């Protein structure tokens, strides 16, 4: 599928035939319910856009190898993998054998749920408890195995050649049968040769690659088998067996996801995903503003972002975009005003990490900046910077506060923090002067927990002396 012209890693879902511009669903968000007359128009030339698909299916399953290999080690799938290993190592009598059989059946049904989830592009493992309630699916799976493998075995007395041929065919079509069973949940569909043929022909050469990969991972646990293996090795063998089972299931699901549209499995047949009015307003503002910015139309981009902020004034991404656009446009005063509003808003909502990020980005643009009109915010931001190890940036916010905010009621606490910052940088001399100032201005501050901690650090780092 063609890539988006403005997000190179995203597939193009919409294409303008007029200006030949491909757009992803981030550039043109929403669905038919959001578009005027059910049809979006090109942000650049206003012509009607043509739908090319949601762009989600299509990624070759072998390109998702990292996701596939780590799927079984994600919670809660990992619990089932470990449980299978434990049950395998515990076999020693009828009760433990029954426990192992239960866990094995649970794993077998769970693998079908994994196939169905991954086929729908859902890469968060389901709960093993979901498999417990799928007794009907287990019965159908057993039925499939009886037909494919037990049935041919019963013909061994008639013709061994026929039996071996049928068993070889069963092994070849097994991944296709399991995939059909997982997504259809129908025994009839899973045993329908026409469905096998449709899937294998549609998938093409990828099916052979999948079959080889599934056979390889399915056979891998045999390497750990040993007649006199110790309990730990038996446990590891069980864990590895469960792991490879889920890897094989994720592989099959990924292949179905790749060919979802061709197989009629795509859940997203509507053109786009319709959003609420407010969400669409925000998403459209961000999408078109990004296009305008890439085209050098910064003022138009800013206009769109301002429109979005009218709907969602606290939206982080909109505020980030406005901050950066104002800077690019050289609008210094609006930039500083928005910077302060953005930081205050994030601070008031408890988003200290975001507030710090905003400030650090601002410092990259203007290294000498201070929040001289808001000393309380300066102290709070300095503490957040200190907690994140950004000592120089924290110190810059507090230096000479007595000059630019002499009437600030929290000056003693601010300088106690500043003394702590200097001590962490090894400057006991400057820290001592600050502590002396705190002692003169607010002696009780040094008796607080923080004051005691800072004094203790000061005395450890300096020669014996009193605070002047």
Instruction: Report pLDDT digits (tens) over 194-221.
Output: 888 888 887 777 788 778 877 776 665 5
Higher model confidence: residue 286 or residue 219?
A: 286
Q: Where are the domains of the chain?
A: 1-56, 61-263, 276-330, 332-394, 410-468
Q: Whole-prediction pTM value?
A: 0.54
Instruction: Give the separation between CA 289 and CA 130, rounded to whole angstroms.
Output: 43
Specify the pLDDT at position 265: 58
Lowest mean pLDDT among 164-178, 318-332, 404-418: 164-178
Provide, rounded to the nearest whole percent, the portion of the chain with pLDDT above 70.
92
Instruction: Give the separation between CA 100 and CA 410, rounded to whole angstroms.
Output: 66
Of the chain, the end-to-end C-alpha distance in Å amounts to: 72
Instruction: Give the separation between CA 1 and CA 40, rounded to whole angstroms.
Output: 20
Q: Angle formed by the axes of helices 316-328 and 352-365, to 10°?
A: 10
Mean pLDDT, range 147-174, rounded to an integer: 80
Residue with tokens 């927990």: 449
Specify the pLDDT at position 395: 92
pLDDT > 50? residue 3: yes
Specify the pLDDT at position 303: 96
Specify the pLDDT at position 185: 82
Higher model confidence: residue 154 or residue 349?
A: 349
Higher model confidence: residue 251 or residue 285?
A: 285
pLDDT > 50? residue 57: no
Query: Mean pLDDT highest for which of 164-173, 219-228, 393-402?
Result: 393-402
Banded model confidence at residue 54, pLDDT cuts 50, 70, 90? low
> Residues 202, 204, 209, CA angle at the centre, nearest 5°?
135
Instruction: Report pLDDT digits (tens) over 273-284.
Output: 889 999 999 999
Lowest mean pLDDT among 68-82, 221-235, 429-443: 221-235
Instruction: Give the separation between CA 240 and CA 222, rounded to whole angstroms.
Output: 10
pLDDT > 90? residue 329: yes
Q: How many CA atoms lie within 13 A of 320 on its CB side?
A: 11
CB-CB contact of 405 with 411 (8 Å): yes
Burial of 92 per CB tally in 10 Å (0-12, 13-18, 19+): exposed
Instruction: Give the separation between CA 226 and CA 221, rounded to whole angstroms.
Output: 11
Higher model confidence: residue 177 or residue 226?
A: 177
Query: Mean pLDDT highest for which of 131-135, 266-270, 453-457?
Result: 453-457
Q: Provide the mean pLDDT of the chain.
A: 85
Specify the pLDDT at position 258: 76
Lowest mean pLDDT among 91-100, 208-217, 289-298: 208-217
Beta carbons within 10 angstroms of residue 314's beta carbon: 12
Instruction: Report pLDDT digits (tens) over 116-149.
Output: 888 877 888 988 888 887 778 888 888 888 888 8
Instruction: Report pLDDT digits (tens) over 356-384.
Output: 999 999 999 888 888 888 899 999 999 99
pLDDT > 80? residue 231: no
Specify the pLDDT at position 289: 97
Specify the pLDDT at position 38: 79
Banded model confidence at residue 436, pLDDT cuts 50, 70, 90? very high
Specify the pLDDT at position 182: 84
């Amino acid at each position: 599928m063609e890539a988006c012209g403005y997000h190179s890693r995203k597939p193009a879902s919409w294409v303008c035939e007029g200006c030949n511009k491909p757009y992803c669903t981030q550039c043109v968000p929403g669905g038919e319910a959001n578009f005027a007359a059910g049809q979006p128009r090109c942000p650049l030339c206003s012509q009607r856009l043509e739908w090319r698909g949601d762009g989600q299916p299509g990624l070759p399953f072998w390109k998702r190898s990292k996701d596939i290999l780590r799927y079984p080690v994600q919670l809660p799938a990992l619990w089932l993998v470990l449980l299978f290993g434990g049950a395998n190592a515990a076999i020693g009598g009828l009760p433990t054998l029954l426990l192992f059989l239960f866990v094995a059946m649970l794993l077998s049904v769970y693998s079908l749920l994994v196939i169905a989830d991954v086929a729908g592009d859902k890469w968060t493992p389901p709960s093993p408890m979901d498999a417990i309630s799928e007794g009907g699916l287990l019965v159908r799976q057993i039925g499939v195995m009886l037909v494919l493998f037990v049935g041919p075995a019963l013909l061994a007395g008639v013709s061994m050649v026929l039996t071996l041929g049928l068993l070889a065919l069963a092994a070849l079509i097994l991944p296709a049968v399991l995939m059909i069973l997982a997504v259809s949940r129908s025994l009839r569909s899973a045993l329908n040769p026409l469905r096998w043929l449709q899937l294998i022909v549609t998938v093409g050469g990828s099916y052979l690659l999948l079959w080889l990969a599934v056979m390889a991972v399915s056979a891998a646990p045999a390497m750990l088998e040993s007649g006199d293996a110790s309990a730990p090795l038996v446990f590891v063998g069980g864990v590895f067996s469960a792991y490879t089972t889920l890897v094989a299931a994720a592989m099959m699901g990924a292949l179905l996801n790749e060919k979802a549209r061709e197989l009629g499995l795509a859940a997203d047949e509507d053109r786009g995903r319709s959003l609420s009015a407010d969400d669409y307003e925000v998403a459209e503002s961000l999408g078109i503003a990004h296009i305008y910015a890439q085209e050098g139309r910064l003022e138009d981009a800013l206009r769109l972002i301002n429109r979005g902020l009218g709907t969602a004034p606290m939206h982080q991404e909109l505020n980030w975009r406005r901050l950066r656009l104002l800077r690019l446009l050289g609008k210094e005063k609006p930039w500083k005003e928005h910077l302060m509003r953005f930081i205050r808003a994030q601070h008031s909502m408890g988003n200290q990490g975001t507030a710090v990020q905003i400030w650090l980005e601002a410092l990259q643009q203007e290294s000498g900046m201070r929040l001289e009109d808001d000393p309380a915010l300066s102290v709070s931001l300095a503490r957040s910077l200190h907690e994140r190890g950004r000592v120089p940036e924290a110190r810059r916010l507090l230096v000479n506060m007595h000059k630019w905010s002499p009437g600030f009621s929290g000056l003693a606490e601010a300088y106690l923090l500043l003394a702590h910052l200097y001590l962490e940088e090894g400057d006991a001399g400057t820290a001592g002067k600050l502590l002396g100032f705190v002692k003169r201005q607010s002696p009780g501050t040094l008796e607080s927990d923080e004051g005691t901690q800072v004094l203790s650090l000061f005395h450890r780092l300096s020669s014996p002396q009193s605070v002047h």
